[in-house]
Chain A
Amino acid sequence: MLGRSVMTRRRGALLEVGAEWFIRATGLLTVLLLVSILVLLARQGVRLFLDLDYPIDRFFTYGNAITDNTTDPNQFRFGVMPPLIATFWVTLVTLIFAIPLGLMTAAFISEIAHPRVRLYIKSAAELLAGVPTIIFAFVGLALVVPRVNDYFGWGAGGFSGLTAGFVVSFVAVPLIISISDDAMQAVPVDYKENAYALGCNKLQAIWCVIMPAAISGISAAIMLGMARAIGETMIVVILAGGNSSLPHDPTESMRPMTATIAAGFGNASDQSLVRPALYMIGAILFLLTFATTLIADAILERQRKRFGR
């Protein structure tokens, strides 16, 4: 009977229910992954203080970060400050180069150039973002380091935080372009038309109307570019110089957090204090980028709400 048949089970219905729960589980897997990254890193890291008796205040105040294989907590000369400050300098230099370059390019392709140009430049930026950073590091080594050494004599033979930051900016720029271009495109057309109706020229419209309206997207772009710079490894390993002591200005040779991990992890012996210390650095690095990304997303969310997209 017709009425009854809608109550019968379909073939394989139970299997489908199982499959659907499996799909739901993979959705939760992402959360599990993120949480376990933090938990595992922190667990490996706090061993430094709990099991290996490294004084916690020394970790936060010591002015060097030497990753030699010692099992004696008193011999271990490792503080988080030097890598943290080095990361700060490199990120600062990156942003100083990347913000003007990225924003001006975004303004150019979004508001000034022909739409076709926008497509080309965005594709080019995407390719730029796709180039492995180890290749950037290598080209930087061949082209930038000698010039920095010859003209400025900074760091250790041209290897310095500034050198690294300069090269990293080319990695951060595509990200900044892409996100701030999206933000400017999202500004409703009537904003611009209103500006023109008030007698603004194009520059005034961009500077006084479009940029302010897109400011959330632009700041999010900058934050995400910053997260990229903080996490960049290969360029700073090769170009920043590698001096593990506290850097006082960006022209010095230095070793940021990522480089400290990359340089120290491979050679560390299992019993030494090096690995736990590096896990600790990793956990801090994770928290830094996590916070940056969260803030950027909150800002973007505000922009989305504002323009309803």
Chain B
Amino acid sequence: MTALTVRSSRNQRLDWLQKFVFSLTFLATVVVCVPVAVVSVYVISHGASAISWEFLFSGPARAGREGGFFPVIVLTMYALLLVMLFAVPVGVLCSIYLAEYAQPGRLLRLINLTIINLAGVPSIVYGLFGAALFFDVIHTKQALWVASATLAMQALAIIITSSREALLSITPGIREGSLALGVSKLRTTFFIALPEAFPGIITGSLLAVSRAAGETAPILIVGAIAATNVPLSPAAIVNDRPQMLSYELYYRITEGLGLADERKWGLALVLLGIVLVLNVSALLLRIKIQSRGFEKRN
């Protein structure tokens, strides 16, 4: 009887150790979460005062020290749209191949491994590749679309991975249901599988684009320049060198002779805002999909 109630000193030591270690892990968790708060609070508190109508909706004056960053913001949007346009169709088609057509075997394993590796290639290497491909092989001039294409190559892996998961996780049985009606595989894919996987594909695309919005290194390599006033017609995509918020921020940070600090933080805030809006909508969409999947199973 007593043996169960009396705790040995060894057990007591173990309990203390456990308490200690668990507190440590809790502390680590807090430390990991703190930067999310610190970064957002710091950027907002330092940058909010710079945000004004003029900052967002007028062009730069005196080399960006006055006026606003409207052209950069618009061109960033152009670039991101273009990234979507380049990467989503290719990525989705590739995921269709992987989820619907590819047969298990060596080739599939090779392609899966390739995609994992594409996701792991450093962004600056994509930049170098873009520069080599577009300037030295195809001989195009530096332009916004080149930056977008480079970012799109990087986005491909994320889009493929998430679309493939979305396609693989649709309700089993409905594909067969369609095929048994004498509907071809291709049509089944486009009319049954893709609509089902659509939210998942959007989630992946949003994540990929938000990554692209924050990427600085590749566009640095393919010739980004600091904010200037350019005509904002879509022709800027082929006519003008890339201007993007992320590069603008980098340029302002390293410029040496300073822009007022709050204007830099203002830029950081706009960039963070864009990225977080994309990220959070992807996150919410995914949580919604997961809860829908939960209902489906019950």
Contact = CB atoms under 8 A, between A and B. Distances in A.
**Co-complex (A, B):** yes
Interface of A: 10, 13, 16, 19-20, 22-24, 26-31, 33-34, 36-37, 40-41, 43-44, 100-102, 104-105, 107-109, 112-113, 121, 123-128, 130-139, 141-143, 170, 173-174, 177, 201-204, 224, 227, 230-234, 237-238, 258, 261-262, 265-266, 278-279, 282, 285-286, 289-290, 292-294, 297
Interface in B96-112: 96-98, 101-102, 110-111
B93 A285 contact: no
Given A126-B279, A131-B272, A170 B121 contact: no
Interface string B177-214: 00000001111000000000000000000010011011
A131 B90 contact: no
B264 A41 contact: no
Interface string B10-21: 000011011001
13 contacts: A19-B186, A23-B93, A23-B97, A33-B156, A40-B132, A104-B24, A135-B43, A138-B268, A139-B43, A142-B42, A231-B125, A238-B253, A262-B221
Given A31-B110, A127-B279, A132-B215, A204 B253 contact: no
Given A108-B28, A130-B207, A24 B97 contact: yes
Contact of A265 (B21, B28, B221): B221
A203 B32 contact: no
B1 to A, nearest CB: 18
B41 to A, nearest CB: 10
A289 B120 contact: yes
B235 interface: no
B250 A234 contact: yes
B32 A128 contact: yes
A121 B33 contact: yes
A136 B283 contact: no
A283 to B, nearest CB: 8
The B contact surface, by secondary structure, is helix
Contacts of A224: 120
A128 B253 contact: no
Interface of B: 14-15, 17-18, 21-22, 24-29, 31-33, 35-36, 38-39, 42-43, 46, 90, 93-94, 96-98, 101-102, 110-111, 113-118, 120-129, 131-133, 136-137, 153, 156-157, 160, 184-187, 207, 210-211, 213-217, 220-221, 223, 246, 249-250, 253-254, 264-265, 268, 271-272, 275-276, 279-280, 283
B247 to A, nearest CB: 9
B17 A203 contact: yes
Contacts of B185: 20
Contacts of B275: 130-132
Given A108-B26, A262-B221, A26 B213 contact: no
A22 B186 CA distance: 12
Residue among A102, A127, A266 facing the most chain B CB atoms (10 A cut-off): A127
Contacts of B102: 27
B174 to A, nearest CB: 20
A108 B116 CA distance: 27
Nearest to B109: A301
Contacts of A31: 110-111, 114
A266 B135 CA distance: 13
A253 to B, nearest CB: 15
Nearest to A22: B93
